[in-house]
């Protein structure tokens, strides 16, 4: 049994495609998502169908594999079953949990309503809706302050996703859309990236991170390192910074959280016993 059909789950399924194995792949959606390109969907550069593939179609030639559409709610280690809604229990001898990660709000779950993360197609389409709608709201704004607020986009986290998203947003606003509106100049769009660390792309070599920082600056992205979020409200972020002032406010009606990840809810729920551990 493999729970999750992301990169890890599909890689494991391919390795277990032999005739001596009876394999079940369980996922809560019917499709695999190529996550590195989610930011392209979030900025309307790609359609969702261009970065997804049906799990059944991907594994169609593996005659030993059954695909089950269900959400794993828990693991009964005594009965060796994965518990799913509506009383569905899927038995297994060996279990691989490949449920991936989700965005983390670092102890502030109340921020999720204000700053959506980017881990799935639903997240990407919601961000795309808000991104495009912000320009419509700016076009209809009655005051300059209101217009500027709608044209300010805040991205929390300067990892690969945050940097890619910021760059594409500036390109679209500055090069693609600027002739489409009559009362607002989309080239005035402000994209602010807040990063708590010393530099962007902390997992990359310093030289590559510095090169990316220069590229973002050329695009007009405002990158603020050593700036950790301390408070989030409907129209404003409050940050702490170790540079000049102890606190600063970032105004904007629109923000995305791509700062950190935590394991998916299925992970903690799965640890319900030790006798099954060697078979995980």
Domain boundaries, the chain: 2-100+264-279, 104-261
pLDDT digits (tens, 9 = 90+) for 92-109: 999 999 998 877 776 777
- Rounded CA separation 268/226 (Å): 31
Q: What is the pLDDT of residue 275?
A: 37
155-172 mean pLDDT: 93
User: Encoding tokens for residue 70?
Assistant: 């269900």
Residue 14 has pLDDT above 90, yes or no: yes
Selected from 3.40.30.10, 1.10.10.10, 3.50.50.100, 3.30.1220.10, the CATH number assigned to the domain covering 104-261 reads 3.50.50.100
List 248's β-bridge partners, or say none: 239
Q: What is the pLDDT of residue 249?
A: 53
Q: What is the pLDDT of residue 233?
A: 63
Residue 154 has pLDDT above 80, yes or no: yes
Which sequence positions are flagged as catalytic?
164
Mean pLDDT taken over the chain? 85
pLDDT digits (tens, 9 = 90+) for 67-96: 999 999 999 999 999 999 888 899 999 999
| DSSP assigned state of 188 | G
Q: Do domains 2-100+264-279 and 104-261 have the same CATH topology?
A: yes
User: Encoding tokens for residue 203?
Assistant: 């997992």
- Rounded CA separation 8/12 (Å): 6
Q: Can you list the alpha helix ranges (DSSP code H) found in 16-87?
A: 38-42, 55-58
Indicate the SS3 state at residue 135. Answer: helix
Q: What is the pLDDT of residue 268?
A: 40
pLDDT digits (tens, 9 = 90+) for 251-270: 556 666 665 566 666 544 44
pLDDT digits (tens, 9 = 90+) for 172-231: 999 999 999 999 999 999 999 999 899 999 999 999 999 999 999 999 999 999 988 776
pTM, two decimal places: 0.81
Cβ atoms within 10 Å, residue 214: 10
Q: What is the pLDDT of residue 258?
A: 63
**Domain 2-100+264-279 belongs in CATH node 3.50.50.60:** yes
Higher pLDDT, 269 or 232: 232
- Asked if 180 contacts 141 with a C-beta cutoff of 8 angstroms, the reply is no
């Amino acid at each position: 049994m493999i729970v999750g059909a992301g990169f890890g789950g599909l890689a494991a399924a391919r390795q277990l495609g032999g005739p001596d194995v009876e394999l079940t792949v369980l996922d809560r959606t019917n499709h695999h998502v190529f996550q590195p390109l989610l930011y392209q969907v979030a900025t309307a550069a790609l359609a969702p169908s261009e970065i997804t593939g049906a799990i059944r179609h991907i594994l169609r030639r593996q005659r030993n594999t059954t695909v089950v559409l269900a959400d794993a709610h828990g693991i009964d280690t005594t009965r060796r079953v994965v518990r799913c809604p509506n009383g569905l229990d899927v038995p297994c001898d060996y279990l691989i949990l490949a449920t991936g990660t989700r965005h983390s709000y670092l102890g502030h779950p109340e921020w999720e309503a204000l700053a959506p993360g980017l881990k799935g197609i639903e997240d990407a389409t919601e961000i795309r809706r808000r991104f495009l709608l912000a320009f419509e709201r700016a076009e209809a704004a009655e005051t300059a302050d209101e217009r500027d607020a709608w044209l300010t986009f805040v991205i929390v986290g300067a990892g690969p996703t945050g940097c890619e998203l910021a760059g594409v947003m500036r390109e679209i606003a500055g090069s693609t859309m600027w002739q489409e509106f009559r009362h607002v100049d989309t080239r005035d769009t402000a994209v602010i990236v807040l990063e708590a660390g010393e530099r962007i792309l902390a997992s990359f070599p310093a030289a590559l991170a510095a090169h990316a920082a220069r590229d973002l600056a050329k695009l007009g992205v405002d990158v603020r390192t050593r700036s950790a979020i301390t408070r989030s409200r409907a129209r404003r972020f409050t940050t702490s910074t170790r540079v000049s002032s102890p606190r600063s406010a970032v105004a904007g009606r629109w923000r995305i959280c791509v700062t950190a990840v935590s394991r998916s809810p299925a992970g903690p729920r799965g640890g319900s016993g030790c006798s099954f551990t060697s078979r995980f």
